[in-house]
Amino acid sequence: MAEPTDPLEHYRQENGLERRDASHWICRIGPLRLRLPNFAWRQRAVDAHDRHHMITGYPLTLAGEIQVAAWEWGAGRYPDWRATLMCGSLVVFGAVVMPARTLRAYRYGTRCESLHPRAGRIDPRPTELGLRKSP
């Protein structure tokens, strides 16, 4: 199989992630694997979300998903109520099980710019965001 040239596709392939347009995605929680539908709103959000993992360095683990959710809460969430509900649930869970790391990721996000679209804004490229490696 040819090596992908797009860094995001390379990241997904390297980490066993599904393509953005796949009909389902696998939610991994420890040894548990849940096959979930890949709704259109999630397909629109996942490119930026996966890039946020790449930029911040937060891992593809439950803790890393909580940290990216908190980071996105601070930097700018995907503008869809279902994404906000999913992200918010992770942030609340993180505030209970790993409060210091969750708060640190949120604070880091408040100093950054999300790749998620917002009304009246043209999406910047990741290199234009001035992001630093996660604390």
Residue type at 3 in one-letter notation: E
| Helix-helix angle 81-97:62-75, to 10 degrees | 120
| Of 15, 20, 17, 11, the residue nearest 40 (C-alpha) | 20
The per-residue pLDDT for 2 is: 63
- 48 is a domain residue: yes
Residue ranges making up the domain that contains 57? 40-128
Q: How far apart are CA 7 and CA 97, in angstroms?
A: 32
- 20 is a domain residue: no
- 4 is a domain residue: no
The answer to whether the CB of 126 falls within 8 A of the CB of 115 is yes
- 102 is a domain residue: yes
- 23 is a domain residue: no
- 97 is a domain residue: yes
**What's the domain count of the chain?**
1
- 9 is a domain residue: no
C-alpha distances in angstroms, 104 versus 32, 49, 63, 94, 115? 27, 18, 13, 11, 19
pLDDT by 10s per residue, the chain, length 135: 567 688 999 999 999 888 888 999 998 888 889 999 999 999 999 999 999 999 999 999 999 999 999 999 999 989 899 999 999 999 999 999 999 999 999 999 999 999 988 754 444 444 444 455 555
The DSSP bridge pattern shows strands 32-37 and 24-29 to be antiparallel
- 5 is a domain residue: no
